[in-house]
């Protein structure tokens, strides 16, 4: 059960495991347990970044370090696809060539590996020379340190410009886009990126696929949930948000799976989406999400979710 990321030889399980919780809301022991369960279920790609979890004030790199320790302890490097990012962690919070190269070396060290399967520019930096940055990413591919490159948090116009430059110069192209996209955050992706990704052959791997947990229903009705993300879902707790949750609940009840699994299955039906990204800080949370890999929504289910979230 896998889907090929366009333009690559990377076969992805229908869910990409988000590593932003590793070293943050999930300590090493809990992170190892989630990673073990994901691999046992057939999972392939784990998504992290050098900036995870910089917000704790410890310097960043915590998530990569835990993932690297797990791969070393389990001897599992050849069984997983590693996606990571640069461009947000100081002093490499830019897209200067020297920063791209140094950040990659630091990530490889923390991950205890000799290659990164998918390496993202975590965000655009308009003050930096875009051609020089793209040439530096190409150099990483040519060196063997990186297999494929991708983009996150670029505007549609800048992404198109980057793809044109890569094609014109024979540089390794961006093969994927990682946008903010879910049932309650639709407009930007659908209006700015979807057609571009289809036209240019990019696979989409959306982040915040569960809207910081809102789409699992656990915050419904103002529930007081002990979560580091609780404050981040307040913006969704309105009439539209409740409408979306009600539609998710109806489909989930009919399928006998969790609301989160349905929210992720809906993303898989969207243009250019290969696999959504979602994190889990416990094995129980992961188990709730895994059925998304087998759920194929029918036309009436898709329509009800589309209408509720319009």
Give catalytic residue positions: 52
Neighbours of 143 (CB within 10 A): 11
The CA distance from 193 to 177, in Å, is: 9
Long-range CB contact pairs, 232-240, < 8 A, 24+:
236/184, 236/211, 240/184, 240/308, 240/309
Q: Taking the CB of residue 94, how many other CB atoms lie within 10 A of it?
A: 19
Q: Are 81 and 12 in contact (CB under 8 A)?
A: yes
Task: Give the CA distances from residue 54 to residues 62, 114, 198, 207, 287, in Å, rounded to whole numbers and listed in that order.
Answer: 8, 24, 34, 18, 28
Residue at token pair 């998304």: 292
* Element of type H or E holding 70: helix 62-74
| Continuous segment of H or E residues that includes residue 252 | helix 239-255
Contact in structure between 186 and 309 (CB atoms under 8 Å)? yes
Pairing of strands 203-204, 11-12: unpaired
| Rounded CA separation 88/168 (Å) | 27
């Amino acid at each position: 059960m896998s889907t090929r990321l366009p333009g690559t030889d990377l076969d992805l399980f229908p869910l990409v495991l988000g590593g932003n919780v590793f070293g943050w809301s999930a300590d090493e022991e809990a992170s190892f347990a989630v990673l073990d369960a994901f691999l046992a279920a057939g999972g392939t790609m784990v998504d992290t970044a050098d900036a995870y979890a910089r917000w704790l004030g410890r310097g960043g790199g915590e998530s990569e370090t835990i993932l690297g320790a797990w791969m070393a302890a389990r001897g599992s490097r050849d069984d997983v696809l590693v996606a990571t990012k640069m461009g947000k962690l100081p002093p490499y919070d830019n897209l200067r060539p020297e920063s791209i190269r140094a950040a990659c070396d630091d990530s490889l060290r923390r991950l205890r590996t000799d290659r990164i399967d998918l390496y993202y520019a975590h965000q655009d930096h308009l003050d930096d020379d875009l051609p020089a940055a793209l040439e530096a990413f190409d150099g990483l591919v040519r060196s063997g340190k990186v297999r494929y490159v991708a983009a996150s948090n670029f505007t549609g116009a800048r992404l198109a410009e980057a793809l044109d430059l890569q094609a014109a110069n024979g540089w390794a192209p961006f093969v994927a886009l990682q946008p903010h996209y879910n049932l309650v955050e639709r407009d930007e992706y659908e209006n700015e990126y979807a057609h571009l990704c289809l036209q240019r052959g990019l696979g989409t791997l959306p982040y915040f696929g569960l809207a910081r947990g809102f789409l699992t229903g656990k915050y419904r009705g103002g529930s007081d949930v002990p979560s580091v993300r609780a404050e981040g879902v307040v913006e969704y707790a309105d009439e539209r948000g409740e409408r979306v949750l009600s539609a998710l609940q109806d489909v989930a009840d009919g399928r006998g799976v969790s609301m989160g699994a349905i929210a992720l299955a809906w993303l898989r039906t969207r243009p250019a989406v290969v696999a959504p990204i979602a994190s889990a800080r416990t094995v129980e949370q992961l188990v709730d999400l895994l059925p998304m890999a087998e759920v194929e929504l029918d036309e009436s289910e898709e329509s009800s979710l589309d209408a509720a979230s319009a």
